[in-house]
Structure 1
Amino acid sequence: MALTITRTQYPKTKPQDYSKGFGNILTDHMFLMDYTEAEGWHDPRILPFGALALTPATMCFHYGQEIFEGMKAYRTEDGRLLLFRPMDHMRRLNHSCERICIPQVCEEELLDYLKELLKTDLDWIQDSNVDSIYIRPMIIATEPVFGARPAKDYTCMAMLTPGRPHIPKGPKPVRIYVEKEQARAVRGGTGTAKCAGNYASTFAAQAKAKAQGYTQVLWLDGAERRYVEEMGQMNIFFVIKGELITPDLSGTILDGITRRSLLAIAKDLGYQTVERRISIQEIMTAHADGTLQEAFGCGTGACIAPVGELTYGECHMNIGNGSIGTVTFTLFERLTQIQRGLVPDPYGWTMEV
C-alpha cells in the first residue's frame, strides 16, 4: 500500500531537558491506517501529531478492544539509528490482535511504515539530548455502535516519544511491594496480550503500594497467590545460589522481548538460567538463609530495574545493600551495548533504519 506523508507546518520546540520526557513529550508526526471489512487495512499515512475525531459511541471506549506494543530505536555513536528486535515486536502485536479478536496486520508492511515515521521525525532523534526513541504502535476498535461483539472498523496508529537518557552505571534499585489480594492475570485470560485492560486493572494495587513508599507491585498467580509472576508491567528475575531464575511462560505472563534477550545473553556469558515456577515462600526462604543474591525487573521502557527491597506482609527483604548487583549490571551493560551498537550483535537483533 502506498504511504502518504503530510509534514507539519508547525514543528514543536524541542525541550532542553528530556529526563522526564518519556511519554510526556511526543514528536511532530504520527502514523495512521484504517480497517474496514470491505477494504481490509488501507490508507496508511503519516500526519502531523494531533487529536482523533471519535464519537462517544466508539466501541473501544465500551468494550475494550484495544491493543498496543512498545519498541525502541537507539542512536549509535556514529549517528546510525538501530531498531531492537523489531520483528519480534511485530509478531507480538499480532499475537495480541489474535487474543483480542482484532484483524492482524502485515508485519513487514507495518514495520516499513514505522521506519518512515522515524525518518520523518529524524531531527528529534538527532538531538544531542536524545539517545533513544520509544515507538508506540496501537490498534483500537472505531466502529461507532453499542454492541458486545468484535468491531467491524479499526484504526492502527503509532507515535514516538524520546526515551530516558541512558545511565551507563546502571539504574538504582527500587522498593517493591508484593500484592497478596489482587491478581494481574489468570490462565485462559489476556495476560499474554498487551491490551489496555491488563494495565488498568493493576492501578489500584500500584496506588496502594506507592502510598506506602514503594515503586511498584510484584504480582502473584491468580489461582493460589503463591507463585511469582510479574513486577508491575515487567518480567522478573532472581539470582539464587548463583542461578538466574525467572518464572516460566505459563499462559499468564507476557513474553517479554527484553526477557528473551537477557536469557540468551546470560547463557552465552556462562550463567546458569532457569525458567520455572518460583513461589514467594521460596524467595523468603532464600532471603532468610542468605542465598537470595539479586533481583531485577526488565522491559522495553526501563530495560532493567534492580530490586533493592521486597515486602511481603510483615516480611521485609533487603537485597544487595542498596546497590545494583554484579549479575544485574553485567546483563544491563551487555544488552545496552548491543542495543546502541557499541559491540557486535551476534544475534541479529538490531536493524538499521
Structure 2
Amino acid sequence: AIKVAVALNLEYVPPYKKNASGGALYIRPLLLATGPMLMLGSPDEFTFLVWVTPVGSLYGSGADIPAVDGFVLDTFDRTAPKGTGHTKLGGNYAPVFGPTAAAKKQGYPITLHLDSASHTYVDEFSTSNALAVQKQGDEITLVVPDSTSILRSVTKISVVEIAEKLCGWKVDLRQVAFDELKQNKFAEFMAAGTAAGITPVRSMSYNSHKPQLVHEKLSPEGPKYTFPSENEVKRIDFGDGKTAGECARRLFDELTSYQCGDQPDKFGWLWPEEGIVAEDAKLSA
C-alpha cells in the first residue's frame, strides 16, 4: 500500500537538491477502527490507509540548519505514566495542541515534556525525541533519554547508529534529569524525528516560579492556557545560544546523505532498495 501511494503521487515528491534542508514526501500509514460498535473494546473491523504529502522541514529550512528555542511544559503531561507514550497513537498528540499553541505565540516553536510521574526527568518533545551531547576533551557522548513513555523513533535509532558506527562517539541510553539541563551539563541539545529531522535546540526556557500553563475552567470556546510572565522564565543556552552545534550538523549531514542517496546504503535503511517508479501504481489494479 505504501509503495502504491508513493507511485501514484510521484509528481509531489520535492526535487532533489544537495545540501537543501527538509524537502520530502511525508508518508503516514494510519490504522482506524471502523467496526460498528460503541462499547469499550477492540472492534472486529479496521481500515488501513496511507496518505502522503509534500513537506519542508518542520522547524524551517535554508542553506543553514535552523536552531530553535524551546520551552519546557513541566506541568502538562503528554501521556500517563505506564501509559501509551511509547506508541505512535493519535491520542498522544491531540492533548498538547493547547499548550504548544500558547508556547508558539511566545516564540517557542518546540516544547519539551518531563516524565509524568515526578516531573524531574526529560521524556521527549511534543513532536519528536530529544537527544543531548556531552563533551569531555575530545570525547563525545550522545546522551539518549530512556523512558517507557518515549516513542521508539526510527530517526533516533538511525542517529544512534550513525553516532556509534560513523562518528565514533559513545552512546549513553539512560534517564536524563532535568537538573542536568539547568546545570549546563550538555554542550548541545536537539530534536530527532521524521518531520523534525535533526533540529538543533539553541535554548530551553522554563518557568522558575509557578506552573507555566494553567488549565483554566472550560468555556464554550474550549480550554484556555496562561503563559508565565517574562520575569518568571529562565533560559538555558546550549553552545553559543544562537546557532547549530557541530555535532548536530554532523548528524544532520550524515542522516540526510543516506536519505538522499548521496552515499551507498551500508545500513540497509532504504526501502525499496531499487526505488519507486510510476509503474508500481499498477499494483493497486
Distance in 2, matches of 1:208 and 1:224, equals 23
CA deviations over 1:280-316 (Å, ceiling 9, x no partner): 111111x2xxx53111001011211110110122321
Aligned residues of 1:168 and 1:333 also touching (Cα < 8 A): no
CA deviations over 1:154-174 (Å, ceiling 9, x no partner): 211111101317957443111
- Equivalence map 1:1-353=2 (5 Å): 113-125=1-13, 132-164=24-56, 169-241=63-135, 242-248=140-146, 250-268=147-165, 269-285=167-183, 287=184, 291-313=185-207, 314-321=233-240, 322-351=242-271, 352-353=275-276
Distance in 2, matches of 1:244 and 1:191, equals 22
Where in structure 1 are there 5+ consecutive unaligned residues? 1-112
Distance in 1, matches of 2:193 and 2:64, equals 14
Distance in 1, matches of 2:265 and 2:190, equals 24
Q: CA deviation at 1:334?
A: 0.4
Q: Give the stretch that moved more between structures: 271-280 or 162-171.
A: 162-171
Distance in 2, matches of 1:318 and 1:114, equals 41
Q: 1:270 to 1:189 in 2, by over 3 A?
A: same
Q: CA deviation at 1:247?
A: 0.4
Letter in 2 for 1:333: D
Partner of 2:227: none
Q: CA deviation at 1:152?
A: 2.2
Where in structure 2 are there 5+ consecutive unaligned residues? 208-232, 277-285
Q: CA deviation at 1:267?
A: 0.7
TM-score normalized by the length of structure 2: 0.77
TM-score normalized by the length of structure 1: 0.63
**Secondary structure of 2:171's match?**
strand
Q: CA deviation at 1:279?
A: 0.7
CA deviations over 1:89-109 (Å, ceiling 9, x no partner): xxxxxxxxxxxxxxxxxxxxx
Letter in 2 for 1:305: T
Distance in 2, matches of 1:117 and 1:208, equals 35
Q: CA deviation at 1:220?
A: 0.1
Aligned residues of 2:141 and 2:172 also touching (Cα < 8 A): yes
Aligned residues of 1:170 and 1:332 also touching (Cα < 8 A): no
Q: 1:117 to 1:169 in 2, by over 3 A?
A: same
